[in-house]
Amino acid sequence: MSGTVIVIDDEKAMRGSIEQWLGLSGFEVVPFSQGDKALAELTPRFEGIVISDVKMPVMDGLAVLDGVNGIDSEIPIILITGHGDVSMAVGAMKNGAYDFLEKPFSPDRLLDLTRRAQEKRRLVLENRSLRKQLTETSGIAARLIGTCPAMERLRGEIADLSGANVNVLLLGETGSGKEVIARCLHDFGPRAAKPFQAVNCGAIPDALFESELFGHETGAFTGAKARKTGVIEFADGGSLFLDEVTSLKPDMQVKMLRVLQERQVTPVGSNIPRSVDVRLISAANTDISAEVDAGSFRQDLYYRINTIEIRVPPLRDRGDDMVLLFEHFLNLAEKTFERAAPTLTAEDLATLRGHPWPGNVRELRNVAERLVLGSQRSGNRVADYLDGANSGTGNSDIVSERQSLAAQAAEFERAVISRALRDHQGNISAVLEQLDIPRRTLNDKMTKHGLERRDFSD
Protein backbone atom coordinates (compact mmCIF):
# COMPACT_ATOMS: atom_id res chain seq x y z
CA MET A 1 0.00 0.00 0.00
CA SER A 2 1.47 3.39 -1.02
CA GLY A 3 -0.27 5.52 1.61
CA THR A 4 -3.60 6.99 2.63
CA VAL A 5 -5.51 9.55 0.57
CA ILE A 6 -8.54 11.41 1.88
CA VAL A 7 -10.74 12.46 -1.06
CA ILE A 8 -13.34 15.20 -0.51
CA ASP A 9 -15.89 15.84 -3.27
CA ASP A 10 -19.64 16.37 -3.14
CA GLU A 11 -20.08 14.48 -6.44
CA LYS A 12 -20.34 10.76 -5.85
CA ALA A 13 -19.18 9.87 -9.36
CA MET A 14 -15.97 11.89 -9.00
CA ARG A 15 -15.23 10.33 -5.61
CA GLY A 16 -15.73 6.88 -7.08
CA SER A 17 -13.48 7.56 -10.08
CA ILE A 18 -10.61 8.88 -7.95
CA GLU A 19 -11.00 6.01 -5.50
CA GLN A 20 -10.79 3.50 -8.35
CA TRP A 21 -7.79 5.14 -10.07
CA LEU A 22 -5.73 5.48 -6.91
CA GLY A 23 -6.85 2.18 -5.42
CA LEU A 24 -5.49 0.30 -8.43
CA SER A 25 -2.10 1.91 -7.75
CA GLY A 26 -1.97 0.73 -4.14
CA PHE A 27 -3.31 3.74 -2.26
CA GLU A 28 -5.86 3.44 0.53
CA VAL A 29 -8.60 5.94 -0.38
CA VAL A 30 -10.99 7.31 2.25
CA PRO A 31 -13.81 9.27 0.53
CA PHE A 32 -15.89 12.08 2.09
CA SER A 33 -18.74 14.14 0.66
CA GLN A 34 -18.20 17.02 3.12
CA GLY A 35 -15.05 18.75 4.24
CA ASP A 36 -15.97 19.15 7.90
CA LYS A 37 -16.38 15.39 8.31
CA ALA A 38 -13.00 14.77 6.72
CA LEU A 39 -11.27 17.32 8.95
CA ALA A 40 -12.66 15.55 12.01
CA GLU A 41 -10.54 12.52 11.06
CA LEU A 42 -7.26 14.41 10.67
CA THR A 43 -4.52 14.71 13.30
CA PRO A 44 -0.85 15.80 13.10
CA ARG A 45 -0.02 12.07 13.01
CA PHE A 46 -1.98 11.51 9.79
CA GLU A 47 0.33 9.65 7.40
CA GLY A 48 -1.37 10.56 4.13
CA ILE A 49 -2.53 13.44 1.97
CA VAL A 50 -5.79 15.23 1.12
CA ILE A 51 -7.41 15.76 -2.30
CA SER A 52 -10.34 18.18 -2.27
CA ASP A 53 -12.65 19.76 -4.82
CA VAL A 54 -12.89 23.54 -4.56
CA LYS A 55 -16.56 24.13 -5.47
CA MET A 56 -18.60 22.43 -2.74
CA PRO A 57 -21.55 23.44 -0.55
CA VAL A 58 -21.25 23.77 3.24
CA MET A 59 -17.45 23.94 3.16
CA ASP A 60 -15.53 24.69 -0.02
CA GLY A 61 -11.97 23.63 -0.82
CA LEU A 62 -10.38 26.85 0.43
CA ALA A 63 -12.03 26.38 3.80
CA VAL A 64 -10.79 22.79 3.80
CA LEU A 65 -7.28 24.12 3.11
CA ASP A 66 -7.53 26.47 6.10
CA GLY A 67 -8.79 23.61 8.26
CA VAL A 68 -5.96 21.29 7.23
CA ASN A 69 -3.39 24.02 7.88
CA GLY A 70 -4.85 24.52 11.33
CA ILE A 71 -4.34 20.83 12.12
CA ASP A 72 -0.93 20.40 10.47
CA SER A 73 0.33 22.79 7.82
CA GLU A 74 2.63 20.07 6.46
CA ILE A 75 -0.19 17.74 5.35
CA PRO A 76 -0.14 18.08 1.54
CA ILE A 77 -3.49 19.06 0.04
CA ILE A 78 -4.23 18.91 -3.70
CA LEU A 79 -7.13 21.03 -4.93
CA ILE A 80 -9.37 20.12 -7.89
CA THR A 81 -10.48 23.21 -9.79
CA GLY A 82 -12.55 24.18 -12.80
CA HIS A 83 -11.02 26.01 -15.76
CA GLY A 84 -12.04 29.44 -14.47
CA ASP A 85 -10.54 28.88 -11.03
CA VAL A 86 -6.87 28.58 -11.99
CA SER A 87 -5.87 32.01 -10.64
CA MET A 88 -7.66 31.20 -7.40
CA ALA A 89 -5.82 27.85 -7.18
CA VAL A 90 -2.47 29.58 -7.67
CA GLY A 91 -3.34 31.88 -4.79
CA ALA A 92 -4.26 28.84 -2.71
CA MET A 93 -0.80 27.38 -3.33
CA LYS A 94 0.70 30.50 -1.82
CA ASN A 95 -1.39 29.77 1.26
CA GLY A 96 -0.05 26.24 1.60
CA ALA A 97 -1.80 24.04 -0.98
CA TYR A 98 0.59 21.44 -2.42
CA ASP A 99 -0.71 21.69 -6.00
CA PHE A 100 -3.92 21.74 -8.04
CA LEU A 101 -5.59 19.66 -10.74
CA GLU A 102 -7.58 21.44 -13.42
CA LYS A 103 -10.66 19.64 -14.72
CA PRO A 104 -10.65 17.56 -16.81
CA PHE A 105 -7.45 15.81 -15.69
CA SER A 106 -5.87 12.51 -16.72
CA PRO A 107 -5.46 9.59 -14.29
CA ASP A 108 -1.68 9.71 -14.90
CA ARG A 109 -1.51 13.34 -13.82
CA LEU A 110 -3.52 12.55 -10.67
CA LEU A 111 -1.31 9.57 -9.87
CA ASP A 112 1.92 11.53 -10.37
CA LEU A 113 0.83 14.37 -8.08
CA THR A 114 -0.45 11.96 -5.45
CA ARG A 115 2.79 10.00 -5.37
CA ARG A 116 4.93 13.13 -5.04
CA ALA A 117 2.70 14.57 -2.32
CA GLN A 118 2.74 11.27 -0.45
CA GLU A 119 6.54 11.13 -0.62
CA LYS A 120 6.73 14.65 0.80
CA ARG A 121 4.48 13.64 3.69
CA ARG A 122 6.58 10.55 4.34
CA LEU A 123 9.73 12.65 4.58
CA VAL A 124 8.06 15.17 6.90
CA LEU A 125 6.98 12.42 9.31
CA GLU A 126 10.36 10.71 9.11
CA ASN A 127 12.16 13.93 9.98
CA ARG A 128 9.80 14.54 12.88
CA SER A 129 10.42 11.03 14.15
CA LEU A 130 14.18 11.45 13.93
CA ARG A 131 14.00 14.81 15.66
CA LYS A 132 11.89 13.37 18.47
CA GLN A 133 14.31 10.48 18.84
CA LEU A 134 17.20 12.92 18.95
CA THR A 135 15.67 15.17 21.58
CA GLU A 136 14.16 12.44 23.75
CA THR A 137 15.54 8.96 23.19
CA SER A 138 19.10 9.99 22.43
CA GLY A 139 19.45 11.89 25.67
CA ILE A 140 19.35 15.64 24.97
CA ALA A 141 16.34 15.89 27.30
CA ALA A 142 18.34 14.08 29.98
CA ARG A 143 21.21 16.56 29.67
CA LEU A 144 19.18 19.74 29.21
CA ILE A 145 16.52 19.32 31.86
CA GLY A 146 13.44 21.51 31.83
CA THR A 147 9.95 21.91 30.46
CA CYS A 148 9.73 25.68 30.03
CA PRO A 149 9.28 27.03 26.47
CA ALA A 150 12.83 28.40 26.41
CA MET A 151 14.29 24.93 27.02
CA GLU A 152 11.98 23.32 24.47
CA ARG A 153 13.22 25.86 21.96
CA LEU A 154 16.84 25.25 22.95
CA ARG A 155 16.57 21.48 22.54
CA GLY A 156 14.94 21.99 19.15
CA GLU A 157 17.78 24.28 18.04
CA ILE A 158 20.36 21.70 19.10
CA ALA A 159 18.46 18.96 17.26
CA ASP A 160 18.49 21.12 14.13
CA LEU A 161 22.13 22.20 14.36
CA SER A 162 23.95 19.17 15.75
CA GLY A 163 24.27 17.64 12.29
CA ALA A 164 25.16 20.90 10.53
CA ASN A 165 28.84 21.60 9.95
CA VAL A 166 28.61 25.29 10.88
CA ASN A 167 30.29 27.42 13.53
CA VAL A 168 28.01 28.24 16.47
CA LEU A 169 28.16 31.11 18.96
CA LEU A 170 26.54 30.54 22.36
CA LEU A 171 25.49 33.67 24.26
CA GLY A 172 24.50 33.46 27.89
CA GLU A 173 25.35 34.43 31.44
CA THR A 174 28.13 32.74 33.39
CA GLY A 175 27.01 29.38 34.75
CA SER A 176 24.00 29.03 32.43
CA GLY A 177 25.27 25.78 30.88
CA LYS A 178 27.00 26.85 27.67
CA GLU A 179 29.60 24.07 27.79
CA VAL A 180 26.87 21.45 28.31
CA ILE A 181 25.15 22.78 25.19
CA ALA A 182 28.45 22.70 23.27
CA ARG A 183 28.90 19.06 24.27
CA CYS A 184 25.39 18.25 23.07
CA LEU A 185 26.08 19.89 19.70
CA HIS A 186 29.15 17.65 19.42
CA ASP A 187 27.84 14.40 20.92
CA PHE A 188 24.63 14.29 18.90
CA GLY A 189 26.25 15.12 15.56
CA PRO A 190 28.40 13.29 13.00
CA ARG A 191 31.63 14.34 14.79
CA ALA A 192 30.71 12.53 18.03
CA ALA A 193 33.36 9.82 17.57
CA LYS A 194 36.09 12.46 17.23
CA PRO A 195 37.61 14.64 19.99
CA PHE A 196 35.88 17.48 21.81
CA GLN A 197 38.41 20.02 23.07
CA ALA A 198 37.35 22.82 25.42
CA VAL A 199 39.46 25.93 26.07
CA ASN A 200 38.65 28.68 28.55
CA CYS A 201 40.20 31.68 26.83
CA GLY A 202 40.17 33.73 30.01
CA ALA A 203 41.95 31.14 32.17
CA ILE A 204 45.17 30.56 30.20
CA PRO A 205 48.09 32.96 30.79
CA ASP A 206 48.92 35.10 27.76
CA ALA A 207 52.45 33.69 27.55
CA LEU A 208 51.15 30.13 27.18
CA PHE A 209 48.07 30.75 25.10
CA GLU A 210 49.59 30.39 21.62
CA SER A 211 51.41 27.22 22.62
CA GLU A 212 48.25 25.73 24.14
CA LEU A 213 46.16 26.38 21.04
CA PHE A 214 48.69 25.79 18.24
CA GLY A 215 51.32 23.62 19.91
CA HIS A 216 55.07 24.10 19.67
CA GLU A 217 58.21 22.42 18.40
CA THR A 218 61.14 21.29 20.54
CA GLY A 219 63.29 24.30 21.45
CA ALA A 220 60.75 26.84 20.23
CA PHE A 221 61.26 28.78 23.47
CA THR A 222 62.86 28.35 26.87
CA GLY A 223 61.38 25.30 28.52
CA ALA A 224 60.08 23.73 25.29
CA LYS A 225 61.95 20.44 25.80
CA ALA A 226 59.61 18.35 23.64
CA ARG A 227 57.17 18.80 20.81
CA LYS A 228 53.64 19.65 21.98
CA THR A 229 50.43 19.20 19.99
CA GLY A 230 48.01 22.10 20.42
CA VAL A 231 44.35 21.67 21.29
CA ILE A 232 43.24 22.75 17.80
CA GLU A 233 45.22 19.91 16.24
CA PHE A 234 43.98 17.54 18.96
CA ALA A 235 40.42 18.45 17.94
CA ASP A 236 41.03 17.52 14.29
CA GLY A 237 37.88 15.90 12.92
CA GLY A 238 35.92 16.93 16.00
CA SER A 239 34.86 20.10 17.78
CA LEU A 240 36.74 22.96 19.43
CA PHE A 241 34.92 24.87 22.17
CA LEU A 242 36.28 28.34 22.95
CA ASP A 243 34.68 29.62 26.16
CA GLU A 244 34.93 33.33 27.00
CA VAL A 245 36.00 33.94 23.42
CA THR A 246 35.96 37.71 23.95
CA SER A 247 39.03 37.27 26.20
CA LEU A 248 41.16 36.59 23.12
CA LYS A 249 43.89 39.21 22.76
CA PRO A 250 44.03 41.09 19.42
CA ASP A 251 47.05 39.12 18.13
CA MET A 252 45.36 35.81 18.94
CA GLN A 253 42.18 36.98 17.23
CA VAL A 254 44.19 37.47 14.02
CA LYS A 255 45.71 34.00 14.30
CA MET A 256 42.36 32.34 15.04
CA LEU A 257 40.87 34.09 12.02
CA ARG A 258 43.62 32.64 9.84
CA VAL A 259 42.99 29.14 11.22
CA LEU A 260 39.30 29.40 10.38
CA GLN A 261 39.99 30.78 6.91
CA GLU A 262 42.79 28.44 5.87
CA ARG A 263 41.93 25.37 7.95
CA GLN A 264 45.57 25.14 9.01
CA VAL A 265 47.64 25.59 12.18
CA THR A 266 51.33 26.37 12.45
CA PRO A 267 52.94 25.35 15.76
CA VAL A 268 55.22 27.83 17.53
CA GLY A 269 58.75 27.38 16.20
CA SER A 270 57.64 25.77 12.93
CA ASN A 271 57.17 27.05 9.41
CA ILE A 272 55.16 24.06 8.25
CA PRO A 273 51.36 24.42 8.56
CA ARG A 274 49.24 21.40 9.41
CA SER A 275 45.75 20.93 7.99
CA VAL A 276 42.93 20.67 10.53
CA ASP A 277 39.21 20.07 10.25
CA VAL A 278 37.38 21.37 13.31
CA ARG A 279 33.92 22.63 14.04
CA LEU A 280 34.18 25.76 16.17
CA ILE A 281 31.72 26.38 18.99
CA SER A 282 32.33 29.64 20.83
CA ALA A 283 30.74 31.12 23.93
CA ALA A 284 30.51 34.59 25.43
CA ASN A 285 28.88 35.99 28.54
CA THR A 286 29.03 39.59 27.34
CA ASP A 287 27.45 41.57 24.53
CA ILE A 288 29.98 40.60 21.87
CA SER A 289 28.41 42.88 19.25
CA ALA A 290 29.07 45.85 21.58
CA GLU A 291 32.71 44.78 21.82
CA VAL A 292 32.87 44.67 18.03
CA ASP A 293 31.47 48.22 17.91
CA ALA A 294 34.03 49.30 20.51
CA GLY A 295 36.86 47.81 18.45
CA SER A 296 38.00 45.29 21.11
CA PHE A 297 36.84 42.29 19.07
CA ARG A 298 37.50 41.93 15.35
CA GLN A 299 34.41 42.18 13.20
CA ASP A 300 35.69 39.67 10.62
CA LEU A 301 36.34 37.09 13.36
CA TYR A 302 32.91 37.76 14.84
CA TYR A 303 31.26 36.89 11.52
CA ARG A 304 33.40 33.76 11.24
CA ILE A 305 32.44 32.36 14.63
CA ASN A 306 28.81 33.49 14.44
CA THR A 307 27.38 31.51 11.53
CA ILE A 308 24.55 30.53 13.88
CA GLU A 309 23.78 32.14 17.24
CA ILE A 310 22.09 30.39 20.17
CA ARG A 311 20.95 32.38 23.20
CA VAL A 312 21.02 30.43 26.45
CA PRO A 313 18.32 31.50 28.95
CA PRO A 314 19.35 32.38 32.52
CA LEU A 315 17.97 30.18 35.27
CA ARG A 316 15.73 32.94 36.63
CA ASP A 317 13.77 32.91 33.33
CA ARG A 318 13.10 29.17 33.42
CA GLY A 319 10.25 29.07 35.94
CA ASP A 320 9.95 25.82 37.87
CA ASP A 321 12.75 24.24 35.84
CA MET A 322 14.98 25.23 38.76
CA VAL A 323 13.08 22.79 41.00
CA LEU A 324 13.49 19.94 38.47
CA LEU A 325 17.17 20.74 38.13
CA PHE A 326 17.67 20.97 41.89
CA GLU A 327 16.12 17.53 42.38
CA HIS A 328 18.40 16.20 39.63
CA PHE A 329 21.50 17.67 41.29
CA LEU A 330 20.40 16.29 44.67
CA ASN A 331 20.22 12.80 43.15
CA LEU A 332 23.69 13.19 41.62
CA ALA A 333 25.10 14.47 44.92
CA GLU A 334 23.58 11.52 46.80
CA LYS A 335 25.49 9.10 44.56
CA THR A 336 28.71 11.12 44.63
CA PHE A 337 28.89 11.68 48.39
CA GLU A 338 26.96 8.54 49.42
CA ARG A 339 24.67 10.53 51.64
CA ALA A 340 20.89 10.82 51.63
CA ALA A 341 19.54 14.19 50.53
CA PRO A 342 17.11 15.88 52.93
CA THR A 343 13.48 16.04 51.90
CA LEU A 344 12.66 19.46 50.48
CA THR A 345 10.14 21.44 52.50
CA ALA A 346 7.68 24.07 51.35
CA GLU A 347 10.10 26.68 52.66
CA ASP A 348 12.88 25.17 50.53
CA LEU A 349 10.70 25.31 47.42
CA ALA A 350 9.76 28.91 48.13
CA THR A 351 13.45 29.74 48.60
CA LEU A 352 14.37 28.10 45.30
CA ARG A 353 11.67 30.04 43.46
CA GLY A 354 12.42 33.35 45.17
CA HIS A 355 16.20 33.42 44.78
CA PRO A 356 17.48 35.31 41.68
CA TRP A 357 20.27 32.76 41.02
CA PRO A 358 22.96 35.13 39.76
CA GLY A 359 25.27 32.14 39.34
CA ASN A 360 22.66 30.28 37.30
CA VAL A 361 22.83 26.47 37.00
CA ARG A 362 26.35 26.35 38.43
CA GLU A 363 25.17 28.06 41.62
CA LEU A 364 22.11 25.78 41.80
CA ARG A 365 24.28 22.67 41.61
CA ASN A 366 26.66 24.04 44.23
CA VAL A 367 23.79 24.65 46.66
CA ALA A 368 22.42 21.14 46.06
CA GLU A 369 25.80 19.56 46.76
CA ARG A 370 26.30 21.59 49.92
CA LEU A 371 22.80 20.69 51.10
CA VAL A 372 23.58 16.98 50.74
CA LEU A 373 26.98 17.34 52.42
CA GLY A 374 25.28 19.06 55.37
CA SER A 375 22.37 16.61 55.50
CA GLN A 376 23.45 15.13 58.82
CA ARG A 377 22.97 18.44 60.61
CA SER A 378 19.57 19.28 62.02
CA GLY A 379 17.66 22.18 60.52
CA ASN A 380 19.56 21.89 57.26
CA ARG A 381 17.73 24.04 54.70
CA VAL A 382 18.31 25.45 51.20
CA ALA A 383 18.45 29.05 52.47
CA ASP A 384 21.50 28.17 54.58
CA TYR A 385 23.64 27.81 51.48
CA LEU A 386 22.60 30.76 49.35
CA ASP A 387 24.94 33.70 48.86
CA GLY A 388 24.75 35.93 51.91
CA ALA A 389 23.39 33.26 54.22
CA ASN A 390 25.47 31.94 57.12
CA SER A 391 25.95 28.35 56.00
CA GLY A 392 27.53 27.25 59.23
CA THR A 393 24.61 27.82 61.56
CA GLY A 394 21.83 25.78 60.01
CA ASN A 395 19.53 28.70 60.76
CA SER A 396 18.19 30.66 57.82
CA ASP A 397 17.06 33.47 60.12
CA ILE A 398 20.67 34.51 60.67
CA VAL A 399 22.09 36.65 57.91
CA SER A 400 25.60 37.55 56.91
CA GLU A 401 27.06 40.81 58.13
CA ARG A 402 28.72 41.20 54.72
CA GLN A 403 25.34 42.17 53.24
CA SER A 404 24.01 45.71 53.15
CA LEU A 405 21.52 46.70 55.84
CA ALA A 406 18.67 46.64 53.29
CA ALA A 407 19.64 43.17 52.09
CA GLN A 408 19.90 41.84 55.65
CA ALA A 409 16.52 43.34 56.52
CA ALA A 410 14.89 41.85 53.42
CA GLU A 411 16.34 38.40 54.12
CA PHE A 412 15.26 38.52 57.74
CA GLU A 413 11.74 39.63 56.72
CA ARG A 414 11.49 36.79 54.21
CA ALA A 415 12.64 34.24 56.79
CA VAL A 416 10.09 35.44 59.38
CA ILE A 417 7.19 35.29 56.90
CA SER A 418 8.33 31.88 55.60
CA ARG A 419 8.48 30.48 59.11
CA ALA A 420 5.03 31.82 59.97
CA LEU A 421 3.58 30.31 56.80
CA ARG A 422 5.25 27.00 57.55
CA ASP A 423 4.13 26.94 61.20
CA HIS A 424 0.51 27.54 60.16
CA GLN A 425 0.58 25.35 57.00
CA GLY A 426 -0.26 28.33 54.80
CA ASN A 427 -3.24 29.51 56.87
CA ILE A 428 -3.24 33.21 55.99
CA SER A 429 -5.58 34.25 58.82
CA ALA A 430 -3.31 32.66 61.41
CA VAL A 431 -0.24 34.28 59.84
CA LEU A 432 -1.92 37.71 59.89
CA GLU A 433 -2.74 37.29 63.56
CA GLN A 434 0.77 36.15 64.48
CA LEU A 435 2.57 38.90 62.53
CA ASP A 436 -0.04 41.56 63.31
CA ILE A 437 -0.02 43.13 59.85
CA PRO A 438 -2.81 44.00 57.36
CA ARG A 439 -3.76 41.49 54.67
CA ARG A 440 -2.64 43.80 51.86
CA THR A 441 0.78 44.28 53.48
CA LEU A 442 1.25 40.51 53.76
CA ASN A 443 0.23 40.00 50.13
CA ASP A 444 2.69 42.65 48.96
CA LYS A 445 5.55 41.18 50.98
CA MET A 446 4.82 37.61 49.84
CA THR A 447 4.89 38.79 46.22
CA LYS A 448 8.11 40.69 46.85
CA HIS A 449 9.84 37.63 48.31
CA GLY A 450 8.39 35.08 45.88
CA LEU A 451 6.34 33.26 48.53
CA GLU A 452 3.10 31.45 47.72
CA ARG A 453 0.62 30.06 50.23
CA ARG A 454 0.20 26.75 48.39
CA ASP A 455 3.88 25.97 48.95
CA PHE A 456 3.29 25.83 52.69
CA SER A 457 -0.12 24.12 52.82
CA ASP A 458 -0.51 20.40 53.43
Q: Is residue 26 part of a domain?
A: yes
Mean pLDDT taken over the chain: 85
Residue ranges making up the domain that contains 380: 317-455
Q: Are residues 155 and 16 in the same domain?
A: no
Q: Are residues 50 and 28 in the same domain?
A: yes
Mean pLDDT of 296-306: 93
Q: Which residues of 316-336 are buried (b: 16+ CB within 10 A; e: fewer)?
A: eebbebbbbbbebbbeebeee
pLDDT of 398 over the 80 cut: no
122 — pLDDT class (breaks 50, 70, 90): confident
pLDDT of 135 over the 70 cut: no
Q: Are residues 106 and 149 in the same domain?
A: no
Q: Is residue 186 part of a domain?
A: yes
Q: Is residue 429 part of a domain?
A: yes
Counted domains in the chain? 3
Q: Is residue 370 part of a domain?
A: yes
Q: Is residue 327 part of a domain?
A: yes
Res 210: pLDDT? 87
pLDDT of 391 over the 60 cut: no
Q: Are residues 117 and 210 in the same domain?
A: no
Q: Are residues 89 and 203 in the same domain?
A: no
pLDDT digits (tens, 9 = 90+) for 182-215: 999 999 989 999 999 999 988 888 878 888 899 8
pLDDT digits (tens, 9 = 90+) for 237-272: 999 999 999 999 999 999 999 999 999 999 888 888
Q: Which residue has the higher pLDDT, 103 or 174?
A: 174
Res 436: pLDDT? 82
pLDDT digits (tens, 9 = 90+) for 33-74: 999 999 999 999 999 999 999 889 889 989 999 999 999 999
Res 235: pLDDT? 93
Q: Is residue 163 part of a domain?
A: yes
Q: Which residue has the higher pLDDT, 374 or 77?
A: 77
pLDDT digits (tens, 9 = 90+) for 401-458: 344 555 566 667 777 888 788 778 888 888 888 888 888 888 888 877 778 777 776 5
Q: Is residue 138 part of a domain?
A: no
Mean pLDDT of 319-344: 86
Facing residues of 399 across strands?
389
Q: Are residues 18 and 70 in the same domain?
A: yes
pLDDT of 287 over the 90 cut: no
pLDDT of 159 over the 70 cut: yes
Q: Are residues 101 and 22 in the same domain?
A: yes
Question: Would the pTM of this model clear 0.85, i.e. be above it?
Answer: no
pLDDT of 340 over the 60 cut: yes
Q: Are residues 22 and 44 in the same domain?
A: yes
Q: Are residues 158 and 306 in the same domain?
A: yes
Q: Answer with the one of 131, 157, 173 that is the final residue of a domain.
A: 131
29 — pLDDT class (breaks 50, 70, 90): very high
Mean pLDDT of 3-9: 93
Q: Answer with the one of 313, 340, 362 that is the final residue of a domain.
A: 313
pLDDT of 349 over the 60 cut: yes
84 — pLDDT class (breaks 50, 70, 90): low
Q: Are residues 448 and 431 in the same domain?
A: yes
CATH number for the domain spanning 40: value is: 3.40.50.2300
Q: Answer with the one of 70, 102, 131 that is the final residue of a domain.
A: 131
Q: Are residues 20 and 107 in the same domain?
A: yes
Q: Are residues 103 and 179 in the same domain?
A: no
Q: Is residue 140 part of a domain?
A: no
